[in-house]
Amino acid sequence: MEFSLFTEYNMVLISMAGIFGLLMAFGIGANDVANAMGTSVGSKALTIKQAIIVAMIFEFAGAFLAGGEVTSTIRKGIIDASAMTGTPELLVFGMMASLLAAGIWLIIATYFGWPVSTTHSIVGAIVGFAAVGIGMEVVKWGKVGSIVASWVVSPVISGTIAFMLFTSVQKLILNTEDPLKNAKKYVPFYMFLAGFMIALVTLFKGLKHVGIKFDTLTSMLIAIGFGVVIMLVGKYFISRQKASPAENKDFHYASVERVFAVLMVVTACGMAFAHGSNDVANAIGPLAAVVSVVESGGEIATKSVLPIWILLIGALGIVLGLAIYGRRVMATIGKKITELTPSRGFAAELAAATTVVVASGTGLPISTTHTLVGAVLGVGMARGIAALNLGVLKNIAVSWVVTLPAGAILSMAFFFMFKGIFL
């Protein structure tokens, strides 16, 4: 039965899955990428137009070059696909339903300016169709539990790193007698750190998918070299910032923040690359599963090659979503949680990028949203609880809680709809 279904509707199923995958990637671009760039826009380090251009280049590069690592975790880890070897069409309908459900939810959330998790959305959708349409035993609840745990762990880790980073910036630079003099002394170190992290994610994640591999020691040495280059370029820019002792401290602060604005552009690029490589899996994982099953005539393979066109759909969708629809969530993250300056935004972004890099390397599907909100919170906490807008945080928390059931309910409805149409 299913063999004839895949023969008869081969192109129909693949085309539908492709469209739903594009919709999901569009939602990721509109919601997730917007909050990845929101700190740069909120702190005025980049204009919205500049942020969109930077994100388009680096998100596309991250998604296209480095998108293969996490894909397998999302696709094979949450449900036991081997339980569906006798009914591969159910896996196909379920993955299509999941993409459509998660994509629609992300677009609804973006309309209201809620920064929700794309990982939550797709995991909720996959668990929803599998538990109701196939059976509770198909869902690997232990794996789901570890993913849920990572959603708590990621904001805690990024929040702690951001808190420590910004506290160090305050102690070493901002709260001193001569902020500009100390900025010239210490900022090159932060620049090195940013360059080193970005180089590592590119080497460990990006290049291996295009066939360039280095051993760990070589990667470390190249990353250190890149960090040193960024540091020297930064040192040159900082040395050109002049302020006379007669000028008041506010003028010194403005000069220091200009330095951090340059640094934020570097971390924004790293964040966009890390995000593209990590979160494109939410769109291309289920799509790759559908294509693999349909093209093999119903065989559920343990490993399937990821065709280039699938990566392209993911990368293009992310870029389109950001460019067309990304402004709403940018405003929430960049302006509404806490007031951001370039030094605060830098600490939040570097902390979030570090957390995303670690998660990508270990194949754990974290939520970039939770990571970034955690990092912005950490920076706000470094200035005291009064610096946070608790009303906005409450709305964000509610939207996070709603995301899992919303994805699950929509996915169940679409799953039974596809079953009704094709069977």
The dihedral sign for the CA sequence 25, 30, 32, 33: positive
416 confidence band (pLDDT: 50, 70, 90)? very high
Q: Which residue in 254, 354, 216 sits closest to 44, CA to CA?
A: 254
pTM as predicted? 0.85
What is d(CA 148, CA 19) in angstroms, rounded to the nearest whole number?
28
260 confidence band (pLDDT: 50, 70, 90)? confident
212 confidence band (pLDDT: 50, 70, 90)? low
Alpha-carbon separation of residue 293 from 10, 20, 278 (angstroms): 10, 16, 24
Give pLDDT, residue 72.
59
> Does 73 score more than 60 pLDDT?
no
Cα–Cα–Cα angle for 13, 17, 23, rounded to 5 degrees: 150
Give pLDDT, residue 65.
76
Give pLDDT, residue 36.
74
In DSSP notation, 57-88 reads HHHHHHHHHHTTTTHHHHHHHSB-GGGGTT-H
In DSSP notation, 182-197 reads HHHHHHHHHHHHHHHH
What is d(CA 334, CA 30) in angstroms, rounded to the nearest whole number?
15
Residues with Cβ within 8 Å of 352's Cβ and at least 6 positions away in sequence, in order, are: 36, 158, 162, 271, 368, 371, 372, 374, 375
Q: What is the mean pLDDT of residues 386-396?
A: 86
3-state DSSP call for residue 243? coil
> Does 357 score more than 80 pLDDT?
no
- More reliable by pLDDT, 210 or 137: 137
- pLDDT tens digits for 95-118? 999 999 999 999 999 998 888 988
> Does 359 score more than 60 pLDDT?
yes
- More reliable by pLDDT, 223 or 242: 223
Residues with Cβ within 8 Å of 398's Cβ and at least 6 positions away in sequence, in order, are: none
Look up residue 421 and give its amino acid: I
What are the structure tokens assigned to 214, written together? 């280095």
What are the structure tokens assigned to 351, written together? 């902390």
Highest mean pLDDT out of 54-63, 97-106, 335-344, 388-397: 97-106
- The domain in which residue 132 lies consists of 2-422
> Does 213 score more than 80 pLDDT?
no
In DSSP notation, 117-129 reads -HHHHHHHHHHHH
Give the chain's mean pLDDT.
84
Give pLDDT, residue 206.
57
3-state DSSP call for residue 326? coil
Please, what's the largest Cα pairwise distance for the chain? 84
- pLDDT tens digits for 16-66? 999 999 999 999 999 988 777 888 888 888 888 888 888 889 888 888 876
Question: What whole-number percentage of the chain has pLDDT above 70?
Answer: 89
Look up residue 227 and give its amino acid: G
Give pLDDT, residue 304.
61
> Does 171 score more than 60 pLDDT?
yes
Count of C-beta atoms within a 10 Å radius of residue 302: 8
Give pLDDT, residue 317.
93
> Does 221 score more than 90 pLDDT?
yes
What is d(CA 412, CA 93) in angstroms, rounded to the nearest whole number?
10
The pair phi, psi for residue 79, each rounded to 5°, is: -125, 155
Give pLDDT, residue 196.
85
Count of C-beta atoms within a 10 Å radius of residue 251: 14
Residues with Cβ within 8 Å of 58's Cβ and at least 6 positions away in sequence, in order, are: 269, 270, 272, 273, 276
Give kind and range of the element (H or E) at residue 384. Answer: none
User: What is the number of domains present in the chain?
Assistant: 1
Q: What is the mean pLDDT of residues 119-130?
A: 91
What is d(CA 317, CA 16) in angstroms, rounded to the nearest whole number?
15
320 confidence band (pLDDT: 50, 70, 90)? very high
Confirm if 330 and 34 have CB atoms less than 8 A apart.
yes
Give pLDDT, residue 52.
85
Q: Which residue in 409, 411, 399, 339 sits closest to 369, CA to CA?
A: 399
What is d(CA 152, CA 117) in angstroms, rounded to the nearest whole number?
12
> Does 175 score more than 70 pLDDT?
yes
208 confidence band (pLDDT: 50, 70, 90)? low
